[in-house]
């Protein structure tokens, strides 16, 4: 009789009616990330932003999956090669991200789309005269990312397409006549032009 039960159990396990021990201890997260720039990797974090998984990458049509996810609360983070990122669903900050609750034996589907870029206009003026500074330059920065654009006659530096993200900027001239000025913690939103104004103080 015991031999019969062993054979029966083995048969049921083979056809999937009996699961191995601990099979339902984990959950799963799957989804599709629609992107235009490519090169994104995806990680899970805990609710404090600490990495809680290995990185996964999308396949040729944007699908991704995390298997054997321990039950708990997570955020999903999409990270590009230049270290800019966004959070599920379509947020530029972790604090705005949705908490994904994983339960044992369940699958969560989390589809998302790459945010559209925004744009930034920075008007740079002289702190003493109030006049625009021709040729003033603005650096878009947040390590390891950095690029700069310089203003024309109107003292306006224009970033026509910039990833929707939280950015820092610094303004100065290429010469040595002014003190640099930082513009930090600027949220650039998709399909929105962010207007910034900064004054530079002449060096004595």
| CATH code for the domain in which residue 82 is found | 2.60.40.10
- In a shared domain, residues 131 and 108: no
- In a shared domain, residues 108 and 150: no
| Whether the Cβ atoms of residue 183 and residue 170 lie closer than 8 Å to each other | yes
Which structural domain, as residue segments, surrounds residue 176?
118-202
DSSP 37: S
| Whether the Cβ atoms of residue 140 and residue 163 lie closer than 8 Å to each other | no
Our count of domains for the chain comes to 2
Alpha-carbon span 53 to 42, nearest angstrom: 9
Structure tokens at 43: 């990680």
- Mean pLDDT (whole number) for 139-147: 80
- How many C-beta atoms lie closer than 10 Å to residue 198's C-beta? 22
| pLDDT value at residue 146 | 77
| CATH code for the domain in which residue 145 is found | 2.60.40.1120
Contacts of 61 (CB under 8 A, 6+ apart): 32
- In a shared domain, residues 40 and 70: yes
- In a shared domain, residues 27 and 70: yes
- In a shared domain, residues 181 and 129: yes
- In a shared domain, residues 122 and 108: no
Structure tokens at 14: 């083979």
- In a shared domain, residues 163 and 122: yes
- In a shared domain, residues 171 and 102: no
> Among 79, 113, 147, which residue terminates a domain?
113
Question: Which pTM was predicted?
Answer: 0.83
> Among 113, 143, 165, which residue terminates a domain?
113
Per-residue pLDDT band at 180 (split at 50, 70, 90):
very high
Q: Per residue in 113-142, pLDDT tens?
A: 999 999 999 999 999 999 999 999 999 987
- In a shared domain, residues 182 and 139: yes
| pLDDT value at residue 5 | 43
Q: Per residue in 9-51, pLDDT tens?
A: 444 444 444 444 455 899 999 999 999 877 899 999 999 999 9
Cis peptide before 20 (omega within 30 of 0): no
> Among 113, 135, 155, which residue terminates a domain?
113
- In a shared domain, residues 144 and 168: yes
- In a shared domain, residues 109 and 128: no
Closest to 32 (Cα-Cα) out of 92, 83, 76: 76
Supply φ then ψ for residue 7, to 5 degrees. Answer: -65, -40
- In a shared domain, residues 107 and 35: yes
């Amino acid at each position: 009789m015991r031999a019969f039960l062993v054979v029966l159990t083995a048969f049921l396990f083979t056809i999937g009616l009996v699961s191995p021990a601990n099979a339902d201890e984990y959950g799963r997260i799957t989804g599709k990330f629609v992107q235009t720039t490519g090169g994104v990797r995806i990680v899970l974090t805990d609710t404090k932003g600490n990495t809680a998984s290995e990185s996964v990458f999308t396949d040729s049509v944007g699908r991704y999956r995390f298997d054997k996810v321990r039950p708990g609360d997570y955020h999903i983070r999409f990270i590009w090669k230049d270290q800019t990122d966004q959070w599920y669903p379509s947020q530029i900050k972790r604090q705005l991200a949705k908490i994904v609750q994983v339960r044992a034996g369940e699958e969560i589907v989390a589809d998302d789309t790459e945010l559209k870029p925004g744009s930034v206009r920075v008007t740079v003026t002289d702190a003493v005269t109030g006049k625009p500074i021709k040729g003033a330059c603005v650096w878009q920065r947040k390590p390891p990312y950095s690029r700069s654009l310089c203003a024309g006659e109107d003292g306006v530096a224009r970033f026509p397409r910039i990833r929707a993200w939280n950015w820092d900027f610094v303004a100065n001239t290429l010469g040595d006549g002014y003190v640099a000025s930082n513009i930090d913690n600027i949220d650039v939103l998709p399909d929105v032009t962010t207007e910034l104004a900064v004054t530079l103080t002449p060096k004595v």
